[in-house]
Structure 1
Amino acid sequence: MPASTALLTDHYELTMLQAALGSGTAQRRSVFELFPRRLPEGRRYGVVAGVGRALDALERFRFDDEVLEALRDVVDERTREWLASHRFTGDVWGYAEGEVYLPYSPLLVVEGTFAEAVLLETLLLSIYNHDSAIASAASRMTSVAGDRPCIEMGSRRTHEEAAVAAARAAYVAGFATSSNLAARQRYGVPTAGTSAHSFTLLHDTEADAFRAQVTSLGEGTTLLVDTYDIREAVRLGVEIAGTSLGAVRLDSGDLGELAHQVRRQLDSLGATSTRIVVTSDLDEFAIAALASAPVDAYGVGTQLVTGSGHPTCGFVYKLVSREGDDGAMVSVAKRSTDKISIGGRKYALRRRSAAGVAEAEVVGIGEAPIDDGDDRSLLVPLVRGGEVVGRETLDAARDRHHAARAELPPAAQQMSRGEPVIPTLHV
């Protein structure tokens, strides 16, 4: 990963900076907001992820000599000189990682000069759009999986760096483990893995492969049993590892029917505690369909790292307030058809019933909405005076998501297409 994140941006942000420096407006106090206009079609809620990664990226947003040399033909010397000493000195408020969001939730509120805030647009959007898309899909999967763990195994189906971010986002939304070792090293995401079909094919017989794996990894390992004949593989697995064999994995075929057959066979062989893990292009709908099958864990790859049909959240980053000629802050808003923004600095709370069930997303414009006693404030300080203050552990974000999802109405768990589970109210 590069030491500086300053070039993870778009050309036009720097040309806007150059023009603003020229017009004398670059130092105007400004408020930018990162928000979704809508949820992906059919989704009931979304999940905020990538907050920690964005804070790390913001700290490394520096225009060093190497970066400035790369910009020699992009902006003029005056702009490069400004960038050379640039450090973000503003404030950032946002929804904490793992939080649930709805349409027009003000996920980030960035306050600073126009110059320093506009430069963050692409950096923040690229992280939030990707990670929140993965977490939103992962949340639906872990919701329908219930107490059965989900394993992230999609690294081979996406860009190598996106794979690391996806593993992190999936863990926030409840996945138990990942196959990605970089996610383990960078973020502490638990990892797991045993063997693929190639390991079985390497050996002269399936029995030789199983024996080698059990000898190396122990009888608690997971054996992949669908390379040849599943029934024979299950028999061999129990024969070699004993009735304390950890698990068997099914990666093809009618997973529901096969799970029933394998469960009966394992039980008949005395391996009543041996678990059944299923993989093979699962998504939340396939997981829901397997709810009645004797499946103990789900391995999810392609559908997770592509957002299960929605690889981005459609977040935007818009100027909503800026300093006027008289020094007072002025609300500004885009009025383009189908792409409106709502002017003014935002505040947000989750309106809840006396029983703690979420009833609405309440967004205040210019001032905080009134808490009726059961509500929960959503914006927390992330950066103050240019210094990161909102960093937290990944497990804290994971716990937050579990609690935020639990307070949603029951309709949030429905897989059928529908409207957002609670309305967004502007006050």
Structure 2
Amino acid sequence: MSTLRTALLTDHYELTMVSAALRDGAADRRCVFEVFSRRLPAGRRYGVVAGTGRLIELIREFRFEEAEVEFLLRTGVVDEQAAAWLRDYRFTGDIDGYAEGELFFPNSPVLTVSGGFAECVVLETLVLSVLNHDSAVAAAAARMVTAARGRTLIEMGGRRAHEAAAVAAARAAYLAGFSFTSNLEAGRRYGIPTAGTAAHAFTLLHDDERAAFASQVATLGKNTTLLVDTYDISQGIRNAIAVAGPDLRAIRIDSGDLAVIAQQSRELLDSLGATETKIIVSGDLDEYAIAALAAEPVDMYGAGTAVVTGSGAPTVGLVYKLVEVDGRPVVKRSEQKATIGGRKTAVRRHKPTGTATEEVIVPQGVPERQANDRLLQRRYVVAGEPVELPTLAESREHLRECLISIPWEGLKLSGGDPAIPVTVVPAG
């Protein structure tokens, strides 16, 4: 079985540009590429930077193996000169960017990649693939966390995504504030707490519901969650308490009108003496469905499809554009896709209370700092060597603090302007 190689997770034209630049002598010209979004997805008031930690590790491993180079030669993607260059490829430039877990807005310089043209341009597809996916998931997950109002969230969308994307999505959801994932590989790779008990198939396997519950409790103890909606929910709850007793940890409901059913279930549990048994709900939940359940007796939410697909915004529209060559700003002027030339520096302004008021971006310079300003960019790679990265737990805490800092209107689920305005200071 062949292995999917990082270096070929790219677009054909990246390597034809390398070939041409090597031939005409432009491959080593010092360039600056920036990653930014021209606009936020419809209805969104902020973006969340996610995937940077994964990306830096992938760039560290970005190599062209001999079999890959031979494939590129055989298919005519590159010539012999480019093939020799690819065999020796190592990224030797610098990468700076917003911290993972940082909020971003239109034109925020999320990531800056600088070095020789060829060594930078070949990373374009990888950079955008990672950041667009993970940031989309993290933004959707952050909205769900806000809607949940402190209640626990479990990510359980692995079966709704590509197997590799599922692991990345679990990481992004945890970054955004989810407490658990059902994905065991995400648990192993990133140390995310995992959770899960049984599906409807386990109940259907047994001759009756009580037998299924008894088997699960015998194996996992009363500190488990029984799925009670395979047949009749009310009878399922009665069977669960009859088998496990009133100190059963939780029941899960995966269908129906969850607002009504949660109320009825809480009343029934209380009447059976199971006053501490928690109610977990799942079943195509998104941020709007979670918000609609805010007043109901729900203790935990399980979200799947919506979170791993960005809840209607599966990409955040990040682009990777050349903004500087040999210290000279370059500008793309095409209609509706124009760029702002020059390497950018960004700060976020805050009131003394800590509330964010504005993001200020300066091309070819450094913003005039004011009290309570926070510089948004940090070093990730210096001369090809990654610097020490924040842990996932630290990035998770950073996002939590960022969400607290934006005006409360910016946390609304309804459409509107970005949570804070962005000012791009004219160059010069």
TM range (shorter): over 0.9
Q: Which amino acid aligns with 1:361?
A: E
Other-structure match for 1:367: 365
Q: Which amino acid aligns with 1:280?
A: G
- State how 1:69-148 maps to structure 2 within 5 Å: 69-72=70-73, 73=75, 74-148=77-151
Deviation at 1:144, TM superposition (A): 1.1
Other-structure match for 1:394: 392
Which whole-Å deviations, capped at 9, do the CAs of 1:139-170 have from their partners, x for residues lacking one?
Answer: 00001101101110001111111111100000
SS of residue paired to 1:156 = helix
Other-structure match for 2:56: 55
Conserved? CA contact 1:4–1:60, under 8 Å: no
SS of residue paired to 1:309 = coil
Other-structure match for 1:6: 7
Other-structure match for 1:326: none
Other-structure match for 2:316: 313
Which whole-Å deviations, capped at 9, do the CAs of 1:214-238 have from their partners, x for residues lacking one?
Answer: 0001101000000111111111111
Q: Which amino acid aligns with 2:266?
A: R
TM-score with structure 1 setting the length: 0.97
Other-structure match for 1:403: 401
Which residue of 375, 378, 381 corresponds with 1:380?
378
Conserved? CA contact 1:279–1:298, under 8 Å: yes
Deviation at 1:125, TM superposition (A): 0.2
Conserved? CA contact 1:3–1:60, under 8 Å: no
Task: Supply the distance in 2 between the matched residues of 1:340 and 1:175 (Cα, whole angstroms).
Answer: 37
Which whole-Å deviations, capped at 9, do the CAs of 1:12-69 have from their partners, x for residues lacking one?
Answer: 0000011011111111000000000000011010100000110111011111212212
Deviation at 1:4, TM superposition (A): 4.4
Verify: 1:285 aligned to 2:288, yes or no.
yes
Conserved? CA contact 1:55–1:391, under 8 Å: no
Other-structure match for 1:218: 221
Task: Supply the distance in 1 between the matched residues of 2:98 and 2:171 (Cα, whole angstroms).
Answer: 17
Deviation at 1:391, TM superposition (A): 2.1
Conserved? CA contact 1:26–1:114, under 8 Å: yes
Other-structure match for 2:39: 38
Which whole-Å deviations, capped at 9, do the CAs of 1:308-349 have from their partners, x for residues lacking one?
Answer: 0000011000000001xxxxx110111111111111001111
Task: Supply the distance in 1 between the matched residues of 2:192 and 2:343 (Cα, whole angstroms).
Answer: 35
Q: Which amino acid aligns with 1:92?
A: I
Task: Supply the distance in 2 between the matched residues of 1:104 and 1:248 (Cα, whole angstroms).
Answer: 45
**Unpaired segments ≥5 residues, structure 2:** none
Other-structure match for 1:252: 255
Other-structure match for 1:21: 22
Conserved? CA contact 1:138–1:170, under 8 Å: yes
Task: Supply the distance in 1 between the matched residues of 2:262 and 2:4 (Cα, whole angstroms).
Answer: 48
**Unpaired segments ≥5 residues, structure 1:** 324-328
Q: Which amino acid aligns with 1:410?
A: W
Other-structure match for 1:68: 69
Q: Which amino acid aligns with 1:350?
A: R
Task: Supply the distance in 2 between the matched residues of 1:185 and 1:336 (Cα, whole angstroms).
Answer: 46
- Indicate the RMSD between aligned Cα atoms, in angstroms: 1.0
Q: Which amino acid aligns with 2:188?
A: Q
Which whole-Å deviations, capped at 9, do the CAs of 1:263-286 have from their partners, x for residues lacking one?
Answer: 011111111110000001000000
Task: Supply the distance in 1 between the matched residues of 2:148 and 2:378 (Cα, whole angstroms).
Answer: 31
Which whole-Å deviations, capped at 9, do the CAs of 1:64-107 have from their partners, x for residues lacking one?
Answer: 21221221121001101011111111110011111111111000
4+ residue runs over 4 A deviation: 1-4
- State how 1:150-161 maps to structure 2 within 5 Å: 150-161=153-164
Q: Which amino acid aligns with 1:8?
A: L
Task: Supply the distance in 2 between the matched residues of 1:16 and 1:277 (Cα, whole angstroms).
Answer: 53
Conserved? CA contact 2:170–2:186, under 8 Å: yes
SS of residue paired to 2:10 = coil
Conserved? CA contact 2:174–2:396, under 8 Å: yes
Aligned residues: 422
Other-structure match for 2:344: 346
Conserved? CA contact 1:144–1:413, under 8 Å: no
Percent pairwise identity: 56
Deviation at 1:371, TM superposition (A): 1.8
Conserved? CA contact 2:49–2:98, under 8 Å: yes
